[in-house]
Amino acid sequence: MAKVQRPRLTFAWATVWVTIFAALAGGPAAPAAADTPVRIVALGDSLTAGFGLPGSDVFPVKLEKALQAKGIAATVANAGVSGDTASGGLARLDWSIPEGTEAVILELGANDALRGIDPAVTRKALDAILTRLAERKIPVLLCGMRAPPNMGADYARAFDAIFPALAEKHGALLYPFFLDGVAADAKLNQGDGIHPTSGGVDVIVTRIMPDIEQLIARARAARGS
């Protein structure tokens, strides 16, 4: 009687069976989670919204493109509102940061300083935003701002101290000054001397990128917690 040969289990078939067994067990394929883009929301004012710029040149769009160019899977939603203060950001927090958000870039405070709002009010609003995002287990990159010189030394001292103090309190990442390398450079600002040009946004994206990568790493780590 002839010996019956069993079919050989090749690597390709082994892969198929592993995938089937994983699906039956309810487990996703291992690489899928790592390849899923991290969903980031940029919560801010006109510096985030992109006042005076075409849609393709605003900070969230350029940041997302820069991440893609580095092979980093992430989306960056624009939740910037021109003229918004820290208190305004707090008031719209729930609908600005929808369910499924995995990380937040918090850029608020510039309008508070320009309007001379009491730094205690700004601090309280940002503190509340960070508290509520922490309760939702969403990692945050807090972008610092500096008071304009005309507000006086005492105001600037109180205002500028808000950001490092709150970052330390909440364990948030801190980018000390959102307009680093751009502020006071006429070539990188629009005619109002406040809002960056497209080139200015490029500078911001380049300088903030290492901190964004840390934020994404925290978001990916939180997926497994």
Catalytic residues: 46, 192, 195
**Cα-Cα end-to-end distance for the chain:** 59
Which residue pairs from 60-65 have beta carbons closer than 8 angstroms and sit at least 24 positions apart in sequence? 62/201, 62/202, 62/205, 63/205, 63/208, 63/212
The two beta strands, 74-80 and 173-175, are: unpaired
In terms of Cα–Cα distance, which of 36, 100, 12 is closest to 28? Answer: 36
CA dist 82 and 116 (Å) reads 17
Say which amino acid occupies 139: P
